[in-house]
Amino acid sequence: MLSLSDVEDARERVETVARRTPLEYSHTYSDMTGADVHLKLENFQRTGSFKIRGAMNRIATLSAEEKAAGVVTASAGNHAQGVALAATRAGVDSKIVMPEHAPITKVKATERYGGDVILYGADYDEAQNKAHEIEDEENRTYVHAFDDEYVMAGQGTIGLEIVEDCPELETVIVPIGGGGLISGISTAVKALHPEARVIGVQAEHASSVADSLNKGSIQELDEVDTIADGIAVRRMGDRTFDVIRERVDEVVTVSDEEIAVALTYLLERSKTLVEGAGAVALAALIFDKFDYDEDETIVPALCGGNIDMNTLTTVVMRGLVETGRYLKIRTELKDRPGSLENLIQIIADKKANIYAVRHDRTSRKIALNATEVEIDLEMRGPDHVDELLAALRAEGYEVAVLD
């Protein structure tokens, strides 16, 4: 099984390309949670993700013959970029299979780092099957995104940095997709700081690890569906399962809505951009997914910052809705002059700001003498939302809140 010496050996190879990323105390999340919160900002890593660490360690250990034949891998995006850059730096040809719906920013970045990108399949698992076909056909070395001890050891160098920069560490929170990151980090942390806890986090609709641990054997999901595309994996690794079962204290899950809120908080309050997978560790903390003590020193690992701009717009909007900063409502009015003005006056009196209005007389769901109105509103928070809805309903409006 993966050992501390494996991680320590990886450090020398990894640091030739990867950065030592900051660990920063957060007043915001310490005040919010009552814990002593320090953020491991791996979103500042080269390629925007921790994946460069594992990729660099694996490629650095290839034989001369393996380097000459080239490498192949499958990835939703971050591992793709890490392998492409590490291979290019080592003078190794790389082919990268990415799901057909991988974020375009990650596809383009992988190509810029020198990878030959092939788009195939609906998700990571289908892309991986294609990559193994290329492995067999072209005699390339497959660089697994997580189920490889060299890759796991490379990711574990984050754990070395966390312990060195935060010797008072009590709990580290780590995202889990296939389990390579948490396997490496838990190996380093538990060896150097045995009393520290390691908490793993998955998205609710991509929770293969949580399910596997509960049932005592590896479980494969039929499908995954989450805004955290970087951890959208149907099946964890065989090697990572053994490490996680032995060294991880607890695995919890967070919803997409909770991920969106955490991502929005990081943007607004910490001026830090992360992707969905990069926000899950903080989401687990601020939504109390595990027990912790007052003033406990906790390090959420923000594992990546590669988010598509269209996705970012959607996620931030969802985060604003969940925090009561944005409200969409629908109601019916009598189709006569002044009806819309009366409605808007109530909204104005409650100091809500109208973002958009949609007025429809043609809906089949309403009476012929009525009109349907949808209004998007900028709000100040949950209390402001409740106050406005109460005022509208008190005036006789039947108001539906839209997702």
Tens-place pLDDT, residues 242-285: 999 999 999 999 999 999 999 999 999 999 999 999 999 999 99
Residues 6+ positions from 318 with CB-CB distance below 8 Å: 256, 257, 260
How many angstroms separate the CA atoms of 216 and 101, rounded? 32
- The pLDDT score that the predictor gives to residue 210 is 84
Instruction: For residues 53-71, give the mean pLDDT.
Output: 97
- The pLDDT score that the predictor gives to residue 363 is 73
Residue 227 is encoded by which pair of tokens? 């805004």
Q: Where are the beta strands (DSSP E) in 130-175?
A: 141-142, 171-175
The answer on pLDDT for 114 being more than 90 is: yes
The answer on pLDDT for 184 being more than 80 is: yes
Helix (H) or strand (E) holding 202: strand 197-203
Instruction: For residues 339-356, give the mean pLDDT.
Output: 94
The answer on pLDDT for 368 being more than 90 is: no
How many angstroms separate the CA atoms of 102 and 199, rounded? 28
Residue indicated by tokens 């992360």: 274
**Beta 171-175 vs 197-203: how paired, if at all?**
parallel
Strand partners, 96: 73, 117
How many angstroms separate the CA atoms of 62 and 58, rounded? 7
The answer on pLDDT for 375 being more than 90 is: yes
How many angstroms separate the CA atoms of 43 and 78, rounded? 11
How many angstroms separate the CA atoms of 376 and 304, rounded? 32
How many angstroms separate the CA atoms of 31 and 297, rounded? 13
310 confidence band (pLDDT: 50, 70, 90): confident
- The pLDDT score that the predictor gives to residue 104 is 82
Specify the higher pLDDT residue, 16 or 182: 182
2 confidence band (pLDDT: 50, 70, 90): very high
> b or e along 212-226 (b: 16 or more beta carbons within 10 Å of the residue's beta carbon)?
bbeeeebbebeebeb
- 103, 311 Cβ separation under 8 angstroms: yes
> What is the CA 201 to chain-centroid distance, rounded?
10
- The pLDDT score that the predictor gives to residue 281 is 98
- 217, 250 Cβ separation under 8 angstroms: no
Tell me the pLDDT tens digit for each residue of 3-61.
999 999 999 999 999 999 999 999 999 999 999 999 999 999 999 999 999 999 999 99
125 confidence band (pLDDT: 50, 70, 90): confident
Residue 95 is encoded by which pair of tokens? 């082919």
Residue 331 is encoded by which pair of tokens? 């109601």
- 100, 121 Cβ separation under 8 angstroms: yes
Among 155, 167, 348, 345, residue whose Cα is nearest residue 243:
155
For the question of whether the overall pTM of this predicted structure is more than 0.85, the answer is yes
How many angstroms separate the CA atoms of 327 and 335, rounded? 24
Q: Count CA atoms within 13 Å of residue 300 on its CB side.
A: 31
- The pLDDT score that the predictor gives to residue 330 is 94
Residues in the chain: 403
Helix (H, G, I), strand (E, B) or coil at 360: strand
In this structure, what are the phi and psi dihedrals at residue 178, rounded to the nearest 5 degrees? -90, -15
SS percent in the chain: helix, strand, coil, step 5: 50, 20, 30
309-232-129 Cα angle (round to 5): 110
The answer on pLDDT for 366 being more than 90 is: no
Q: What is the dihedral of CA 327, 330, 336, 340, to 10 degrees?
A: 0
Where are the alpha helices (H) located in 91-226, listed in sequence order?
104-112, 124-138, 149-165, 180-192, 208-215
In this structure, what are the phi and psi dihedrals at residue 372, rounded to the nearest 5 degrees? -100, 135
Q: Where are the beta strands (DSSP E) in 231-338?
A: 250-254, 297-302, 326-334
